[in-house]
Amino acid sequence: MQNNQLTIGEYLLKKLESYGIDHIFGIPGDYVVQFFDLIEQSPIQHIGTTREETAGFAADAYARINGMGVACVTYCVGGLSMVNAVTGAYAEKSPLVVISGSPGMNERGKDALLHHKGRDFYTQQRIYEEITVASTLIDEPFNAFNEIDRVLDTVYWHKRPGYIELPRDIVGMPGALYQRPSTGGHESDPETLNAALTDAIDFINQSENPIILAGAELHRFGYQDKLLALAEEKQIPVAVTLLGKSVMPEGHPLYLGIYGGAMSRAEITTLVETSDCIIILGAFMTDVNLGIYTANLERSRCVHATSDRITVRYSTYEDVMFEDFIDGLGTPKLQKRGDIDLEWVLEVPEPFEKVADQPLTVHRLFQQLNQFLSDDMTVIADVGDSLWGAADLRLPTHTDFIALAYYTSMGFAIPAAIGAQLSKPDARPIVIVGDGAFQMTGTELSTTIRYGLNPIILILNNSGYGTIRPLVEGTFNDIENWNYTRVPELLGTGRAFAARTEGEFDTAMKAALAETQQFVIIEAALEKLDASPALARLAERVSEKV
């Protein structure tokens, strides 16, 4: 790359290409239109959404599959509209890069009253410093390339969002020669790595019933195969957190299911909480992952490894790379376990038999949906019983599961389907969304039309915010009912079905799978107070806290 021949905007796009970015999500504005013009001239495709927050959600989902995602917006009205999506990406360690245009450096006079300006010209930058792992304002050409590389390098290694602000008079300036290496210099301290592995392996070898609890970071870093190899080689059973769902093949004989305190099935909770050695790999210890802190994971029984640090019971080891630690556990020093009886834990459901005229219930709806899932799908769940019910789905081996399962911002799933399908075109999104969340971001179906995408949208219509009803009921949980089957008529394409019985849902799903050229909506009519078993278990334990 002849960096001295590139402008700052061109260099940024070249670097994004090197990270595998083929799409940038966002909405133009006058402060960023020069950069959008460069995108149009580059191999990267701009994906226009209906609003900035949904661009952030789409780029987040793209990042979870692709390894990095990018959203590009204008100053303040665009950048600040996306703060919620970026905060969610930070909370769940998703490598989302935000590029924002802004007033030129030569326009920023003391009393200049330029449109979109907030408190001062640096308000947006300061806000993003709080919700990103690295941020920069490109305010002069000499260090522009270095700053771009610093932010992208940090996002790549830490799997959290980054922010690059491009004043409009900087985009076309030539940058100085590139001066620092990118994506390098990340190595474990050998002595610390050896000490951490020795401590962990000794502890695991001395235990009687170790278990692996796998989390979302294994998704973020692409270590699913490492997890599977470790579990199979050492014959250690695997439970996953809600955020980590689909990180382990769910038909594997060593896969147990989701552990999340009171949210879990009793058998999984018993096995995990009676284990004398819990090997936690890449899991966030969040309230949602831990069943609103109903989980019981004493530090004295845990090996906890993340990209930030390694902890073996009461000893903490830093300067150890997550990958090196996982690879080290696979050495012959870690003993292979003998046969373990897991039959009492594994849930082997009876084949689902539909009752054609039986009204839909949340529990049986997800059982029925499970019959239609295949390897060439991505399951995307929104917040609420869309998420809790989906926790009990038994996904095929190569089916990805995406949800904002810790930050839990409603309206994530439909825009996420856009990012997921563009990142993995051969996997059709199956979106599970509540009626409340659909009313927030359902307009993004317009974007699926524009770019030829074909998600299947299952709307769980329970007349409001069903997750809150078991905790505190009131009229604040009610929303206006829409005629969801008329949405294709509004948008000019697509198909929609209403399902009130198991027979109607069966017919609708078969028709949706056969229709591959456009989006399909299936409205599932549910009773207002109906809830999934997972939500019922959780609500029973946590309602006293609310």
For 48, the enclosing helix (H) or strand (E) is strand 45-48
Per the prediction, the chain carries an average pLDDT of 90
- What is d(CA 295, CA 293) in angstroms, rounded to the nearest whole number? 5
Tell me what the mean pLDDT of segment 272-282 comes to.
94
Interval 325-334: pLDDT, tens: 999 999 999 9
Who wins on pLDDT, 538 or 205? 205
**DSSP class of residue 203?**
H
Same domain, 131 and 258: no
Q: Tell me, what's the pLDDT at 151?
A: 97
Specify if 518 maps to a domain. yes
Specify if 51 maps to a domain. yes
Tokens of residue 515, six digits: 């229709």
Q: Tell me, what's the pLDDT at 297?
A: 80
Q: What is the pTM of this model?
A: 0.91
Give the pLDDT band of residue 490 (cuts 50, 70, 90). very high
CATH number of the domain encompassing residue 225: 3.40.50.1220
Q: Is the pLDDT of residue 290 over 60?
A: no
Q: Is the pLDDT of residue 115 over 80?
A: no
Q: Is 8 helix (H, G, I), strand (E, B) or coil?
A: helix
Q: How many structural domains are present in the chain?
A: 3
Specify if 507 maps to a domain. yes
Same domain, 304 and 422: no
Specify if 356 maps to a domain. no
Tell me what the mean pLDDT of segment 102-121 comes to.
73
The number of C-alpha atoms within 13 Å of 353 and in the hemisphere containing its C-beta is 1
Q: Which long-range contacts (CB under 8 A, 24 or more apart) does 12-15 make?
A: 12/99, 12/148, 12/164, 12/166, 13/38, 13/39, 13/42, 13/44, 15/148, 15/149, 15/152, 15/182
Domain span holding position 523: 362-545
Sign (positive or negative) of CA dihedral 438, 442, 444, 449: positive
Whole-angstrom CA distances from 203 to 200, 272, 485 are 5, 17, 57
Q: Give me Rg for the CA atoms of the chain.
A: 24
Q: Tell me, what's the pLDDT at 397?
A: 85
Tell me what the mean pLDDT of segment 65-80 comes to.
94
CATH number of the domain encompassing residue 91: 3.40.50.970
Specify if 346 maps to a domain. no
Same domain, 37 and 79: yes
Specify if 178 maps to a domain. no
How many helices and strands, by DSSP H and E, does the chain display?
Answer: 19, 19
CA nearest to 217, candidates 69, 67, 432, 83: 67
Q: Tell me, what's the pLDDT at 540?
A: 65
Q: Tell me, what's the pLDDT at 531?
A: 83
Give the pLDDT band of residue 293 (cuts 50, 70, 90). very low
Domain end point (choices 167, 201, 225): 167
Q: Tell me, what's the pLDDT at 291?
A: 45
Who wins on pLDDT, 473 or 8? 8
Q: Is 402 helix (H, G, I), strand (E, B) or coil?
A: strand
Give the pLDDT band of residue 178 (cuts 50, 70, 90). low
Same domain, 161 and 239: no
Who wins on pLDDT, 265 or 245? 245
